[in-house]
Amino acid sequence: MHEDVECVLLDEEAIRAGIDRVAEEVTKAYEGKDFTVVSILKGSCIFASDLIRRIPIPLELAFVSASSYGSGTESGKLKVNFLPAGNEIEGRNILLVDDILDTGRTMRTLKDEFLALGASTVKSCVFLDKPSRRAVEFDADFCAFEVEDLFVVGYGLDFAGRYRNLPYVGALRPEAQARVARSAEQSLTAQAARS
Ligand code: IMP
Ligand code: MG
């Protein structure tokens, strides 16, 4: 286990079992329909790539990049960095895939955006759901695991850009959180000084 991780919440075996279950649900829901899996970068890249390899029916893959302002543990205003091309959205059945459904702002904003751009249907699939943190109304159509109100990292989930590569999901030690936050702030200050 990484020294900054206090405890493992989901190990590789548990993750595999959860993804198998969700993949089966998604397969049943889209059997006989064309659909596009849209991975929300960066956090969902690992979940989305494991998920699609367990879905045996035809699908297309696209990416959207969205991020909250700020790098702490609180999500702020959403910024959409890029979207798929219009012809990848219009008239398509879209399955938005994210690492975690927290306040719900990311999914709410992107779902509305894809519908406004002419998607036929938009469903959502999340690796983790933290229902206790919801700030806007949003229910995921597919979800691998529910988690309590804890800041978690690994399997795509980051803190200040780190820990995405851990193969399990764990809770960060508070002292590691403080140290990484300090170093992220220092590099931002250094960057600002150079520009
Ligand atoms: P929402 O827009 O508040 O639902 O937040 C979704 C985004 O917040 C996710 O895609 C994550 O990037 C980030 N996030 C929320 N909770 C956590 C967490 O516990 N660990 C890491 N990232 C998180
Ligand atoms: Mg993130």
102-116 residue pLDDT tens: 999 999 999 999 999
**Relative to the alpha carbon of 102, which ligand is closest?**
1
Cβ count within 10 A of residue 48: 24
Q: What are phi and psi of 92, to 5 degrees?
A: -100, 155
* 129 in catalytic set: no
5 pLDDT exceeds 70? yes
The residue that leads in pLDDT, 180 or 26, is 26
Give the mean pLDDT of 35-48: 98
Sheet of 5-10: strand order equals: 5-10, 169-172, 152-153
- Residue 69 confidence class, pLDDT cut points 50, 70, 90: low
Mean pLDDT of 48-61: 98
Instruction: Tell me the average pLDDT of the chain.
Output: 94
CA–CA distance, 44 with 42 (Å, rounded to integer): 6
DSSP assignment string, 40-91: EETTTHHHHHHHHTT--S--EEEEEEEEESSSSSS--SEEEEE---GGGTTT
Contact 117, 84 (CB under 8 A): no
What's the confidence (pLDDT) of residue 184? 87
* Pocket around ligand 1 at a 6 A CB cut-off: 43, 75, 98-106, 151-153, 157-158
- Domains of the chain in start order, with CATH, are 12-147 (3.40.50.2020)
* pTM for this model (two decimals): 0.94
pLDDT at 68: 80
User: Is the per-residue pLDDT at 97 higher than 60?
Assistant: yes
Q: Is the pLDDT at 188 greater than 60, yes or no?
A: yes
> What integer is the mean pLDDT of 68-96?
83
Q: Which of 102, 112, 139, 149 is catalytic?
A: 102
Minimum-distance ligand 1 atom for the alpha carbon of 102 = 4
Residue corresponding to tokens 């960060």: 172
Q: Is the pLDDT of residue 62 over 70?
A: yes
